[in-house]
Structure formats: structure tokens, C-alpha cells
């Protein structure tokens, strides 16, 4: 009987880490987790998305919003360029059928991102170029009184807006309960002429968060009379937010994308138990290897959404000029995975389908809106799933690492959910760089059979297990990659074990 040592992995909730070397990662970590969800200590291939409405052309998304009124009227509105790039047009979807062009919303400036904010059952537009328009669920019309700005937030019965090209540090506010009435002096300059500009507005607790590239401020005083500079407080000094759409409130934290130096980071503004907002630090330390490879010239396009548990942050990867990479942060287990195959220009959460669901605009040259759902493909396209383990180093029977000793890697035992005719590809690498195929594992499972009285399948077990013989030469370490790249092929890995035998050192 072979005297083999083993590594057993049953917990996968820590996500991937490409900041540390693969051979020093601890149990539960992966080197990469692509297009998967790590939940209930399983590795699961992610679900896909489906188009809603119709394809409106070949232009990138400029903005999307869930318009929902107190009387039950619900729309998903989106902005796309006309085919000749002369203007941008506003479209509305009622939950079925095709998108319909919004009357009065056909003359926005082309190729200009649009942000939306709903107040008093109306949605208002903000792009820092055109006058703000009011959409009432049917038509759109301009509201000249609203300052021409880029960002807006309806908070404590005031409409706040900022991002004016002439006064980039100015925060405007409307009359109370009236987003369409503005006084000439109803504004606060947030540290003006400091070489910086307001980059976004959001809310955390009872504070309006006003971000700049290098600072984060909050408006703390709320009065029906007016606001003053004394109501401003600086919460973070030295770094701020790079993208208005990157900000997402996850309860007691506001997460956002920050960039100073060479590597961008996802940071947190945290609300303490004493109801004070303070700097929460960097949360993306584990994935600095990924963030070091994004296109820093396109960080202003980053777009996030929070589904109640996970943050989805779209960001332009490598030399891409649109959001081609989604960083998924599990706020419960504090781990990351990454998704490709979906390119969100902007997100929204709508209950138009009867429950809260995530929708996004395509950021590449395609005028479509998608819904994340339970489908097993990306609107018919295959999902490229892979999970790369940490590198397993030769060790002794007492658990001591023998990094200078080679091991004969004998077997890999895999356990996965069964029921689907899916071939999971298994590869190995002795250097964390070059991979060779070892085998495939079919996840259909073997039916139970009563061979005498009832010679037919008698149900399918919930899981299947397989031993893969490793045919490599001895090496100091070994790393595994599990992948599946076909459409409509679900994968759920429960656990795996690596069995090996240390080699004796030569004299």
C-alpha cells in the first residue's frame, strides 16, 4: 500500500489572490477564479445574462436607470447614440416587448455619458453638457432651472448636483421638496480652486458624500433654510474617488475606486458604530496583480452595483477602452472573483420583473440592455469558466515544507455536483506558468441500478467522484486548473484532494 501524503481543499470562500506568490497562499485561496461564484464552500460556474427588448444598433451605452413611481409605473430607461452619431436618444422599456423611443428625449449630445436621479416620481438627466430633462414615465422635457451638472443625488428632500464644467468644486442644492426650484445663491463651494474637482455624489448614513480625486467630504448639516460651509466636513485626505459610477453603498460602507500612483485600488468609507464616517482603507489588496493590468486612462468609466451581498465593479482591462472586466467582491467572506464576457457601461436595479434584478448596458459598440439571470450562457454565448488553485509545495508527514525536495504527484480526487453531461478539463503546472492537460471529468454521474429485479436506473446521485492519475515527472510543486468553456454547461465543484509522495534526496 502506498504511503501517500495529501492536501485536501473543501473551503473556497476566500477568493483569489494574485498579490502573493501561489506557493505561499493558504488553504481556501485560489490563484485565479474566473467566471465563477464561491458560495457554500463550492466553486460554481456563474450564471449568464439575457437581452431585454430589442437591439437598437451598434453604439455603446451612455446611461441606464430604473424609473419607478409610487403608483406602480415602472420603466427601464437607457440612452444610446443615433446611428449617424448626430444625437443621443432616450429609450424606455416597460417590462416586455421592444424599447420605445421617449418623446422629447431625442436631442441629447452624442457620445456623452448620462447620469440619472429620480425625485418626486420623476427622473432627471445630468451629463454636464445639456440642460437637465425631466422624464415622467411617458415623455421628457427640459427643466431650465436645474444647473447643468454631471452628478446628482436626491437626499433628505433636496436635489443636490455637482460637476459643472465652469465651477467644478460647486455643490448646488434645490428648494426643499422641490427638485425644480433653485435659488441663485443655493450652492456651496467645496474647497474651491484647490486644483481638484468634484468627481461624484453618494450617500452614507445621514451624510451626503462629496468626492474629489484626492479628498472625500461630507455634508452634515440639514436645514430647511440653507446650507453653509460650516456644514462640510473632510473625511478622507490624500486620496479620493476617480469615478462617480464606481461608488456603491453596501450598508455601513461606501466602496469606490481610487487612483494615486501606479495601481488603482478599491477603498472604503466606513460608518462606525458611533455613526461617524471614517476611512475604511483598501479592500482590494488581494487582487493588486489584476488592478496593475487595467487601463488607468479609462478609470473614469468604471461602474459598480451592489446586489445585497456582492459588489460588481466593471473596469477597462489591459488596453480596452470600455469596461471589459468585472471584479466581484463578496462582502460576507471578503473574497474576490473576476468575470469576463460582460461589459457594463452602467448598471441599474429594477423590480420591473416582479423582484429586484440587475440590468446593465453594453459598453462596447452594441446598443443593447441585458439582465443578469439564471441562464447558463451569456445571451447564447459560452461562459469561459476556470479555477486555478494555489501551488501545492512538497511537504513532509509532519506538515513541514520541503521546498527543496521534489514530490511524485500521484492522484487528484475530485468531487462535484452531478446531473449534467459536462466535461471538466483538468490541467497541471509544475512552475505556475505552463499547463498541460491531465484528464477530463464528466459530471453526469453514474445511476444507481438494481440489477436483478429492476434492471434500470434508479435515480442519479447528487455528486460524482473521480480519481485522476497524474502523469508528470517529480517536481517541487504542482498547481491545478479546472476549466469548462461550453455554453449551457453548469459546473459545481465540492472539494478536491491532492495526493503525493516526497522523493528522497540524492547523496
The tens digit of pLDDT for each residue in 353-411 reads 999 999 999 999 999 999 999 999 999 999 999 999 999 999 888 778 887 899 999 99
338 touches 381 (CB < 8 A): no
pLDDT tens across 232-255, in order? 889 999 999 999 999 999 999 999
Confidence of residue 319 (pLDDT cuts 50, 70, 90): very high
At residue 420, the pLDDT reads: 81
CATH fold of 5-45+385-502: Jelly Rolls (2.60.120)
SS3 state at 440? strand
| C-alpha distances in Å from residue 183, one per residue of 65, 174, 281 | 27, 7, 38
Bridge partners, 426 (sequence order): 439, 482
Strand spans (E) along 2-155: 5-9, 30-34, 36-39, 42-45, 49-52, 61-68, 74-81, 88-93, 100-101, 115-119, 122-126, 133-135, 140-142, 151-155
81 contacts: CB under 8 Å, gap ≥ 6: 57, 59, 60, 62, 87, 88, 89, 110, 111, 367
Report the distance separating Cα 262 and Cα 63, nearest Å.
29
Q: Where are the domains positioned within the chain?
A: 5-45+385-502
pLDDT reported for residue 445: 72
pTM for the complete prediction? 0.94
Q: What is the pLDDT of residues 181-223, one digit of tens each?
A: 998 889 999 999 999 999 999 999 889 999 999 999 999 876 6
Return the H-helix or E-strand segment holding 255: strand 253-258
For the stretch 109-165, pLDDT in tens is 999 999 999 999 999 999 999 999 999 999 999 999 999 999 999 999 999 999 999
Q: Which of 72, 52, 25, 1 is nearest to 287 (CA)?
A: 25
Amino acid at each position: 500500500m502506498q504511503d501517500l501524503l495529501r492536501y485536501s481543499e473543501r473551503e473556497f470562500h476566500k477568493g483569489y489572490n494574485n498579490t502573493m506568490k501561489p506557493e505561499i497562499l493558504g488553504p481556501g485561496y485560489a490563484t485565479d477564479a474566473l467566471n465563477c461564484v464561491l458560495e457554500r464552500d463550492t466553486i460554481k460556474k456563474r450564471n449568464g445574462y439575457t437581452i431585454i427588448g430589442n437591439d437598437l444598433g451598434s453604439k455603446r451605452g451612455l446611461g441606464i436607470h430604473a424609473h419607478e413611481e409610487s403608483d406602480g409605473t415602472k420603466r427601464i430607461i437607457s440612452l444610446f447614440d443615433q446611428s449617424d452619431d448626430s444625437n443621443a436618444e432616450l429609450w424606455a422599456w416597460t417590462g416586455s416587448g421592444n424599447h420605445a423611443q421617449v418623446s422629447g428625449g431625442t436631442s441629447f449630445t452624442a457620445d456623452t455619458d448620462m447620469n440619472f436621479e429620480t425625485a418626486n416620481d420623476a427622473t432627471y438627466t445630468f451629463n454636464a453638457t445639456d440642460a437637465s430633462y425631466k422624464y415622467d414615465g411617458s415623455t421628457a422635457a427640459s427643466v431650465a432651472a436645474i444647473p447643468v451638472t454631471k452628478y446628482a443625488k436626491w437626499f433628505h428632500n433636496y436635489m443636490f448636483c455637482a460637476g459643472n464644467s465652469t465651477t467644478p468644486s460647486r455643490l448646488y442644492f434645490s428648494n426643499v421638496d422641490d427638485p425644480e426650484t433653485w435659488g441663485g445663491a443655493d450652492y456651496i463651494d467645496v474647497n474651491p480652486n484647490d486644483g481638484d474637482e468634484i468627481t461624484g455624489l453618494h450617500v452614507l448614513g445621514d451624510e451626503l458624500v462629496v468626492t474629489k480625486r484626492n479628498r472625500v467630504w461630507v455634508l452634515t448639516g440639514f436645514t430647511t433654510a440653507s446650507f453653509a460651509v460650516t456644514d462640510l466636513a473632510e473625511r478622507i485626505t490624500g486620496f479620493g474617488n476617480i469615478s462617480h459610477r464606481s461608488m456603491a453603498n453596501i450598508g455601513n460602507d461606501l466602496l469606490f475606486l481610487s487612483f494615486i500612483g501606479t495601481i488603482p485600488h478599491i477603498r472604503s468609507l466606513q460608518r462606525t458604530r458611533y455613526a461617524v464616517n471614517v476611512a475604511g482603507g483598501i479592500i482590494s489588496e488581494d487582487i493588486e496583480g489584476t488592478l496593475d493590468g487595467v487601463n488607468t486612462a479609462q478609470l473614469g468609466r468604471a461602474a459598480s452595483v451592489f446586489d445585497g451581498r456582492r459588489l460588481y465593479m466593471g473596469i477597462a482591462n489591459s488596453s480596452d477602452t470600455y469596461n471589459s472586466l468585472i471584479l466581484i467582491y463578496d462582502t460576507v467572506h471578503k473574497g474576490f472573483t473576476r468575470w469576463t464576457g460582460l461589459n457594463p457601461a452602467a448598471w441599474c436595479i429594477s423590480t420591473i420583473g416582479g423582484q429586484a434584478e440587475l440590468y446593465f448596458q453594453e459598453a462596447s459598440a452594441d446598443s443593447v440592455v441585458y439582465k443578469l439571470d439564471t441562464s447558463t450562457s451569456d445571451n447564447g454565448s459560452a461562459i469561459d469558466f476556470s479555477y486555478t488553485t494555489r501551488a501545492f509545495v512538497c511537504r513532509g508527514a509532519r506538515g513541514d515544507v520541503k521546498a527543496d525536495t521534489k514530490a511524485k504527484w500521484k492522484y487528484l480526487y475530485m468531487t462535484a455536483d452531478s446531473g449534467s453531461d459536462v466535461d471538466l478539463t483538468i490541467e497541471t503546472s509544475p512552475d505556475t506558468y505552463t499547463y498541460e492537460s491531465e484528464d477530463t471529468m464528466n459530471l453526469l454521474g453514474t445511476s444507481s441500478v438494481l440489477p436483478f429485479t429492476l434492471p434500470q436506473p434508479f435515480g442519479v446521485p447528487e455528486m460524482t467522484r473521480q480519481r485522476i492519475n497524474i502523469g508528470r515527472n517529480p517536481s517541487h510543486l504542482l498547481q491545478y486548473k479546472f476549466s469548462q468553456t461550453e455554453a449551457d454547461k453548469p459546473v459545481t465543484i465540492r472539494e478536491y484532494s491532492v495526493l503525493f509522495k516526497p522523493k528522497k534526496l540524492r547523496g
